[in-house]
A and B are shown apart, each in its own frame.
Chain A
């Protein structure tokens, strides 16, 4: 199992961004994919998740309306998207695989994507 994320991004406030997570080594549409934000010195926050089988996405109330999660089953890839970035979005973002549909911890993690938002 591997989750390979897109590279580091440097953006300006107000710009849009879409980062990706390419899954391999398992059947993509059988496991939820989630996104976790890491603010160094401030820990980890769960942002949301998607069922790649039917693209049903759920969000943390802290992030709903500010990010969008999607998936493309044809290329085994999940996405995290912003339409208007803020400086406070500067962080490392990890995609994660849920162990199963009922055991909702994360058994595999992507390597992380650094997003820097600065004018």
Chain B
């Protein structure tokens, strides 16, 4: 099973700041990496797939990068609606598909 780790666990930031969230895989997942945003009371939302491709309707301030075992989700000019938990997920090797433990972005 591929183990995903994320850092930091929690990030306290102010609106307008730029943040970089890290995701690491225990072995190479090539570019088979997705990022999801999860807000309380809502289902998660797909942000990025293929490590760097924004999903439909996702604002340009979200960008993904990386390949192999190291990935980053960058949010430029954080908006109030961006405060949420962010998960990475690998879909390179399964079963099982595996998620990271999440990074909470809060004020």
Contacts and interface: CB of A to CB of B under 8 A. Distances in A.
Interface in A58-91: 58-62
A115 to B, nearest CB: 15
A94 B41 CA distance: 12
B55 interface: yes
3 smallest CB-CB distances across A and B, nearest first, come from A109-B43, A60-B96, A105-B34
Contacts of B97: 34, 46, 60, 104
Contacts of B66: none
Give the interface size bracket for B toward A: 20 to 34
A103 B49 contact: yes
A45 B94 contact: no
B interface secondary structure, majority:
loop
A111 interface: yes
B43 to A, nearest CB: 4
A105 B44 CA distance: 12
Contacts of B7: none
A98 to B, nearest CB: 9
Interface of B: 1, 32, 34, 36, 38, 42-46, 49-50, 55, 87, 89, 91, 94-102
A109 B102 CA distance: 18
A106 B43 CA distance: 11
Contacts of A62: 96
Contact of A61 (B55, B96, B99, B102): B96
Contacts of B49: 99, 103, 105
Interface of A: 34, 42-46, 48, 58-62, 94, 99, 103-107, 109-112
Given A43-B87, A43-B101, A43-B102, A105 B46 contact: yes
A44 B87 contact: yes
Contact of B44 (A58, A60, A94, A99): A94
A61 B95 contact: yes
Nearest to A48: B95
Contact of A104 (B43, B45, B91, B102): B91
A108 to B, nearest CB: 8
B62 to A, nearest CB: 15
